[in-house]
Structure formats: structure tokens, C-alpha cells
Structure 1
């Protein structure tokens, strides 16, 4: 009896983990933007932020980025090839935005930056399989 060894087929990569991560980042940014727009008590903001930015204007920018990140996440979950590049770009923009927002709310910004770095790493790993 001769048995031949066959190589395992290449593992299929599912974008579910990346999609859920980037969706959670978008939702977190929308929640932070809504809390900042709500005014008093909605968001714990540092008393003396480093950047002299208007929190209301910045929260609208944060909301716009949150919506774009959610659109990228939906595209990733739908396995659209364009969404992988858009997701990498939006995660990088989200991390940069959170870096500036860190002077207002440091723990929130650290959480979002950590998730964004994880999203970029997972999307870069899945990108070659998504675009044949």
C-alpha cells in the first residue's frame, strides 16, 4: 500500500476579524464624536489640552472619519478588493486623528490607536489573498 502525502490546501483568509475590528473603531469614533457634541458631561476631557482646538469642530471631523471607517468596514466584510486599501488608509487616518485627539481624551485615543494598528496589520496580511 502506497500512500501519497498531499499538502494541505492554502488556508483561506476570512476578512471577518478585520472587518469587525474596523467597524468597532468607526463606532467608537462616532460615539466619541456624539459625546463631544453633546457638551457637558458626555465626554471626560482633559482640562488643559495641548492643542488649542475647538472640540466641536474636531468632533465633526471625528464623526466624518468614523462614517468613512464604517463604510470601509462594510466593504471589507463584503470582501470587496477596494475596501482593503481603503481600510488600511482609513485606519492610518483614524490613528493619526486619534493621536491629535489624545490631548483631549488620552485613554480613548490609546484604545483607538491600538485597534487601528491591529487593523492595519491584519488587512496587510489578508490583502494579497483578496486581490487575485
Structure 2
């Protein structure tokens, strides 16, 4: 640490500042701390939302695996698939999403990208299931859109 740093009122603040410089420095610190708080809250919200989405994916998958007939069969739909396979896809997406959410809570940069990827894959999987359970699928798709927004609006911090 240099002789001119660290002896001010704030850590890292230069010791010799004019009143105008100190006011500008204080404004910068205050503004940044507010932005950092919003970024942290948005990221925490995204992680918790991803855990909720993961739970919904896992429940949806278990229901499909346990009983193929629980989902309505629709004729002439472009995306035809075995409901059991579709259920396993949801279970795997849900389990991976839980791990990614923990990474987001631990502020891992890979987890932010992973969260967006999981949300996109979950959106595709739920889009394919719209004819079976439209309201449920649309609800999960809406959660995914909110998750993508929350992860993409996080601001990078310089530290």
C-alpha cells in the first residue's frame, strides 16, 4: 500500500483529497454499492428460481416415468415422443439445474452460463409438452424466461 492510500476514511481511499474529490469518491462508492446489491439480489433470485424450476422439472419427469397414462395423448402433433423418455429428460434437466443453482449461489461464472443453457433446454422440453399439459408447460416456460432475464441482467463486479 502506498503512503497516499489507505489512511482515508474508507479502505483504499487516498489520504489527501480535496472536499470535492472526497464527495465524488463517496458518491462513486455509494452508487456502486447500490448497483452491487441489486446485482447480488438478482443473482440470488435467479438461483432460487432455478431451484424451483428444477423441482418442477423433476416432479414432471417422475410423473411421466411412473405413469405413462397421466399425460393426455394428443393425435397429430408434430413432436411425437415416448412419455417415459421425455420424463427422464426432465429428471436429468432438473438434477443438473440443482447443481447449477448451487454454483450460482457460490458465484461461479460457469454457473451463470449454465443457468441460461438449462433454462433454454427446459424451455424446449416444455414447449414439446404443451399439447399434454399446456398450462403447466407455459408456466414453466414463463419461469424460464424470468430466469434468463435475471441471469443476463447481472452486472459484473470489478473485484
Q: If the length of structure 2 is used for normalisation, what is the TM-score? A: 0.72
1:46 and 2:72 are equivalent in the alignment: yes
Runs of 5+ in structure 2 lacking a partner? Answer: 1-18
Q: 1:31 to 1:123 in 2, by over 3 A?
A: same
For these two proteins, the number of residue pairs brought into alignment is: 128
The 4+ residue runs of structure 1 with deviation greater than 6 A are none
- TM-score, normalised via structure 1 length: 0.85
Tell me the equivalent position of 1:9.
Answer: 31
- Partner of 2:95, secondary structure, is helix
**Aligned equivalents of 1:93 and 1:69: distance in 2?**
10
Q: Secondary structure at the match of 1:9?
A: helix
- After superposition, where does 1:7-86 map in structure 2 within 5 Å? 7=27, 8-10=30-32, 11-12=35-36, 13-14=39-40, 15-39=43-67, 43=70, 45-48=71-74, 50=77, 51-86=79-114
Q: What residue ranges of structure 1 are gaps of 5+ in the alignment? A: none
Aligned to 2:149: 121
Alpha-carbon spacing, 1:102–1:78, altered in 2? closer, same or farther (3 Å): same
> Per-residue deviation at 1:63?
0.8
The 3 A distance-change label for structure 1 pair 130 and 28 is: farther
Q: Structure 2 vs 1, CA of residues 40 and 101 (structure 1 numbering), >3 Å: closer, same or farther?
A: closer
Give the SS at the match of 2:31: coil
Q: CA deviation at 1:101?
A: 1.5
Shift of 1:105: 1.3
Contact kept, 8 Å, 2:68 with 2:84, in 1: the verdict is: no
